[in-house]
Amino acid sequence: MINWLRIALSFAVLIAASLLVIPVQLLALRFNWRLRRSLPRFWHKATLRALGIRVHVHGQLDPRRPLMIAANHASWKDILVLGSLADVTFIAKTEVASWPLFGALAKLQKTIFIAREEKRRTGDQVSEIAGRMADGEIVVLFPEGTTSDGNRVLSVKSSLFGAAAAALPEEGEGGVHVQPVAIAYTRVQGLPMGRYHRPIAGWPGDTGLTESLLGVLKAGAIDVDVSFGVSVEFSKGDSRKHLATQIEARLRAMLLAHLRGRHKH
């Protein structure tokens, strides 16, 4: 029997955290307070706790700047997981801005929306990414360009690393640090997550948000392993294709190590 009382309590926690954070975040955005960067982390942590998702971290965030995180992407939960670990800014496709709930939450976190098909708008968007990174913000890119089923890393699109190229300093030496971060959903209720449970980890295209959210709540307890890999240095004159190949290989190795249980907890 599904514990509906627990699910109702989880929703109550989510609503309470949102009512507490959102008005302050709106003010922080309105007056460009630095609090706008750190406040979402509190909301992400509260939401993960309400959903019963436990995060286990391996390695650490690169302290150097400018920094771009390149992560594999299985689900909407990835946003909560990464958002709970660092004060980050996400890069998302323009369509996300119009999604119910997620669009509003993305705007509250000052997500950078990119229109991949509209070349004339790309310049402004890339300039915003470069400016935010130059200001010390950590930008998160999902270079697969879409969500997977959580079992594998899809091919990484080198074109999406144009944002990293734009953030390179115009004069002098120096580059951008691109850190691969693997997100692996590994256990449910303390037991290894088999392929049967993969719909809980991923977000299949035919599953609605409400259905996916209820699936997570019914599961009760999900463990996710997050590995911070060794950064790839990207400098002027470097190949974006080579960068994409390196990131893809590192992401795949870290993800498979967790899914096959070879990584020590």
Residue 37 lies in a domain: no
Residue 193 in tokens: 């997550």
The total number of structural domains that make up the chain: 1
Give the span between the Cα atoms of 53 and 222, in whole angstroms: 5
Residue 131 lies in a domain: yes
Q: Identify the pLDDT of residue 170.
A: 73
Residue 235 lies in a domain: yes
Residue 100 in tokens: 């119910």
Residue 4 lies in a domain: no
Residue 29 lies in a domain: no
Residue 92 lies in a domain: yes
Q: Identify the pLDDT of residue 79.
A: 94
Q: Identify the pLDDT of residue 121.
A: 57
Contact 234, 175 (CB under 8 A): yes
Residue 36 lies in a domain: no
Q: Identify the pLDDT of residue 142.
A: 93
Give the span between the Cα atoms of 188 and 54, in whole angstroms: 10
Instruction: Give which of 97, 93, 116, 124 is closest to 108, Cα–Cα.
Output: 97
Q: Identify the pLDDT of residue 151.
A: 74
Amino acid letter, residue 58: H
Q: Which range marks the domain in which residue 149 is found?
A: 52-259
Give the span between the Cα atoms of 189 and 212, in whole angstroms: 17
Q: Identify the pLDDT of residue 177.
A: 95
Instruction: Give which of 84, 92, 42, 76 is closest to 216, Cα–Cα.
Output: 76
CB within 8 Å of 226: residues ≥ 6 apart: 55, 56, 57, 58, 81, 82, 85, 181, 182, 183, 184
Low-confidence ranges of the chain (pLDDT < 70): 1-2, 116-123, 149, 171-172, 198, 204-208, 262-265
Q: Identify the pLDDT of residue 114.
A: 85
Residue 127 lies in a domain: yes
Give the Cβ contact number of residue 29 at 10 Å.
Answer: 16
